[in-house]
Amino acid sequence: MTLIPLPRDFYARDPVIVARELLGQRLLRETPAGLCGGRIVETEAYLSSRDPACHASRGMNRKNTAMFGPPGHAYVYMIHARWCLNAVTEPEGIPSAILIRAIEPLDGIDLMQERRRTDVLRDLARGPARLCEALVINRAANHCDLTAGRELWIAEDASLNGTPLRTIRSARIGVTSAHRRLLRFYLAGNAFVSGRGQRVLR
């Protein structure tokens, strides 16, 4: 199992490309309790000033500074009293990011079951806030460098062995502005994807 973090160049690109290519990669979390994580199966892109739904579309404020920083860092924010994890994309100064919406649990499943208080695999990390609870991601992870390979990082998933992935593009979930844009990506037929009955457009 290769756990080498994806390089910064991976993130310093068009968010739509990054969102799609993050599918099938391995999200990893190291805490004193041990290692846990899984395969990324669902993402959403938020496109800086050209996207009204992006938290940074109207400039910098106290909580969105991470999005203006270097690519490959974490942007963690709270919504409805729950935490959500993003990976910052594009060159520094362009505030775009990819919301990691769901993973398929693979590593440290017992740890995640304990934190989520359920044994149901499908409920461990299906949805951005469940994912953060399972991986103990909170304000302390904001600005974390995802290319450092410590605490929190994303690596190529060697267990896929080059298996071709079928990805589907749809509208983002829960977004109230710019809701018609197709900026959500997920793995076709994967049981660990959140939401239901999304319209399939490619």
CA neighbor of 7 nearest in space, from 164, 134, 160, 156: 156
101-130: which residues touch DNA (CB under 7 A)? Answer: 123, 127-130
Q: Which stretch binds DNA (CB under 7 A): 10-18, 55-63, 104-112, 151-159?
A: 55-63
Q: What is the largest CA-CA distance in the chain?
A: 42
> Is residue 180 at the binding interface for DNA, with CB under 7 A as the rule?
no
d(CA 168, CA 96): 21
Q: Which stretch binds DNA (CB under 7 A): 15-23, 106-114, 160-168, 189-197?
A: 189-197
Out of 197, 199, 201, 202, point to the residue binding DNA (CB under 7 A): 197
Q: Which stretch binds DNA (CB under 7 A): 33-41, 70-78, 107-115, 145-153?
A: 70-78
DSSP letters spanning 69-102? S-TTBEEEEEETTEEEEEEEESSTTS-EEEEEEE
Residue 147: count of CB within 10 angstroms of its CB:
19
> Is residue 54 at the binding interface for DNA, with CB under 7 A as the rule?
yes
Out of 176, 199, 201, 202, point to the residue binding DNA (CB under 7 A): 176
Residues making contact with DNA (CB under 7 A):
44, 46, 53-56, 61-63, 67, 75, 77-82, 84, 86, 97, 99, 123, 127-131, 139, 172-176, 194, 196-197
